[in-house]
Structure 1
Amino acid sequence: MATLVPALLLATACAAPVTGTPVADPGADTGDSEQTSTVEEPDEDPDGDESTTSEPGEPDEPDGGGDLGALVGTWEGAYTCAQGETGAKLAIEAVDESTLKMTFEFFPLPENPDAKSGSYVLLGAYSGSRLVFTQEEWIEQPPNYVMVDLEVTSELAEGMTELNGTMLTESCGALAVTRTG
């Protein structure tokens, strides 16, 4: 029997200058009289049991994939984005039994002294089998720095000491942190 490993999504800072083609805010009034929007329809339930489908206005049932308490603590390491390898400190605490609060701090490393420092707060909760952290507010935002999603593939387990993942944007790569407390 195969063991399922939950994917963990984190919104994290990518210390890369904002470049490229601007994307219009879909809610902004552009003056065009004709606007379109797309609504993504949910996938059909392959089992036909609808056990993972929620009523409108209700959150998906968390089928989890690991103990949230396994992430509580402090973590330190690095991640890679357009600016190069950058230090990362994560302080994760439980808000309640289904929500985590993270302070994500990034900073220059000796091998990349030009990277900037900054930090922000995120909240995390299971969405289906994935743990998703979404940004709440910047504590310190350097100019031209943006937040991006991060998928962590580490299995959540009591006593875990390493947390690894991939930044989900073209200009970024891996994150690797080790428990420090």
Structure 2
Amino acid sequence: MKKAISIIHFSLFLFVVTGIVSCKKEAADTNASGNIPTNGWRIGSTSYTTLLALRNVGQPNSVGAFDAVPTANNLNTVVVLFNNTTGIAAGTFKVVTKPNQSDLLADEIMVSASTGYNQGTGQYNKQYVTVVGETVNATVTISGGKAKIVVPQINIISYPINASSTTSTFSGTIVEQ
């Protein structure tokens, strides 16, 4: 999980260097069934619209999504990690939590969400991982070389996992730009 967290921090540096200066946060649209946002993600009842989504954010075989530029306070992010051997590919993947990206099997992905980045402290208010034992499958399609990852509602827990951890739900559609 430390790799997933370091991915998020590295991505902040990456975007500061690129000099992106505009952002917009609003409720994400939902698909026809109303369950999965079509351009972003939802944690509990709060929706986030993707401003940027890029491949290899801090780690190879990852896709990171951001609702604002990393220079903004209160940045919220999602990082999806794929198996290091097979990489980002189309198909159906089990959403799991494992200690390291290298532990993922070819048919597994990890989803890590973070909310409320504070520039003053360099920390997120909350970081989440999938609850161990979940049995949800995500769908990945590739179009024009860009990945689209659709994650149905899944239970998540704040990280690090301990007695004071809180649980919520996550769903989303991350479209690489």
- Which structure has more relative contact order (CA 8 Å, sep 6+)? It is 1
Larger Rg: 1
Identify whether the pair has TM-score above 0.5, normalized to the shorter chain.
no
Q: If the length of structure 1 is used for normalisation, what is the TM-score?
A: 0.36
Q: If the length of structure 2 is used for normalisation, what is the TM-score?
A: 0.37
More helix by share: 2
